[in-house]
């Protein structure tokens, strides 16, 4: 019975891998692999890729905001530095500029010399331009 069973098993094995069945097996495996590839792409790959892109965009926006904030700080430091110079000039000669008495009284500069103000504005614009070049 063993030999008869082995013959049947060998014949079943040969029939299973006959050219007709082999073609069906290859087609079935191809469809399975293709289906798995499509499933993986839409279920795992694309959502992960989109999440990474979203995170990168948020990081870029945050970095741009920080850079622009730093640019504003540069502007304010520039203004404060020139304001100190303005106050020193007013302290030396209280009538040098029209608003010297008020500057000396309040310690605040509402105005700067045109060249100084333009320098601060140029520094601000240059810093902002650098931010946009770097993070856009």
Produce one character per residue of 83-97: b if its CB has 16 or more CB atoms within 10 Å, e if not: beebbeebeeeeeeb
The pTM of the full predicted model, rounded to 2 decimals, is: 0.63
| Domain range summary for the chain, segments of one domain joined by + | 2-135
Percentage of the residues of the chain whose pLDDT score is greater than 90: 62
CA dihedral 99, 104, 110, 114 (to 10 degrees): 60
Tokens 């070049």 sit at which residue?
133
**Which residues, 6 or more positions from 94, have their beta carbon under 8 angstroms from its beta carbon?**
100, 101, 104
What's the DSSP call for residue 41? I
| pLDDT (tens digit per residue) in 25-76 | 889 999 999 999 999 999 999 999 999 999 999 999 999 999 999 999 999 9
């Amino acid at each position: 019975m063993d030999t008869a069973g082995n013959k049947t098993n060998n014949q079943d094995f040969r029939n299973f891998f006959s050219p007709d069945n082999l073609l069906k097996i290859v087609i079935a495996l191809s469809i399975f692999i293709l289906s798995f590839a499509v499933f993986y792409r839409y279920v795992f790959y694309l959502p992960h890729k989109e999440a990474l892109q979203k995170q990168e965009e948020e990081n870029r926006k945050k970095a741009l905001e920080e850079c622009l904030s730093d640019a504003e700080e540069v502007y304010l430091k520039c203004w404060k530095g020139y304001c100190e110079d303005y106050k020193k000039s007013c302290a030396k000669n209280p009538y040098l500029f029209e608003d010297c008495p008020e500057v000396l009284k309040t310690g605040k500069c509402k105005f700067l010399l045109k060249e100084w103000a333009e320098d601060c504005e140029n520094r601000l614009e240059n810093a902002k331009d650098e931010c946009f070049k770097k993070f856009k």
